Amino acid sequence: MKLDILAFGAHPDDIEISVGGMLISEVLQGKKVGLVDLTRGEMGTRGTPEIRDIEAKNAAEIIGASVRHNLMFPDGMFEISNENKMAIIEMIRRYQPDIVITNAPSDRHPDHGRAAQLVVESCFLAGLEKIKSNNGELKAWRPRGVYQYVQFYHHQPHFIYDISDVLEQKLECVLAHRSQFYDPASNEPETVISSQHFKENLIARASEFGMQAGFRYGEPMLVIRTPGVKSISNLF
């Protein structure tokens, strides 16, 4: 199966928090989208890996993703290694995405920056013919565009994606990760993202970034390589 977009996240809820709206919107426009989590989020304070597996599946269904994989890297401990790059390269070559989206270049959780470096490097390496993967069965493939989403820390966005029409669906896919976010009935310890403040901030932040681009709600994005256009009107 060839995908239009392949989104990577260090943890099972990274993608939903950051670009859930974009992916839902793209699926509604007929694009095929896939999700890849590097870890099961097993070091998280709340929930269990088994619960998080189910939540990730439910969130993917809300997004309308064609596939979702977990590479089973150790949460908090995965390295920028050749072995891990090869696992990502195989995902890229298997699905041949035109666009790859990944974590922020630096963030509060150190996994996010490491995930970004792994994915960005793997996108380049996946296009090298002499790197063989899956016993040579998967052919070289390099995505046309590689983008990074903004997470906890602020990064000046290079563009903002309009999610005004899909904000409610975005919130639904985020909150499908029920163990991780605000639940007044939960007896588990509170974390930064499980607070009511964080839930409220999802909407406030989408509003803040949307306003910068003239939208009601938006998701901020970073580009790895400056995109080219044939008409300046394509920028609007």
Percent of the chain beyond pLDDT 90?
91
Tokens (6 digits) for 20: 């859930």
- Answer yes or no: is pLDDT of 163 > 90: yes
- Answer yes or no: is pLDDT of 21 > 80: yes
**Which runs of E-coded beta strand occur in the chain?**
5-9, 33-37, 67-70, 99-102, 145-149, 159-162, 218-223
- Answer yes or no: is pLDDT of 235 > 90: no
Residue 236 within a domain: no
Q: Summarize the confidence of residues 112-138 as an average pLDDT.
A: 95
Q: Summarize the confidence of residues 74-90 as an average pLDDT.
A: 97
Q: What is the number of structural domains in the chain?
A: 1
Other Cβ atoms within 10 Å of 229 Cβ, number = 8
Residue 30 within a domain: yes
Residue 234 within a domain: no
Mean pLDDT of all residues belonging to the chain: 96
Residue 136 binned pLDDT confidence (cut-offs 50, 70, 90)? confident
Asked which of 100-114, 141-155, 181-195, 204-218 is least confident by mean pLDDT, the reply is 181-195
The CATH code of the domain that includes 150 is 3.40.50.10320
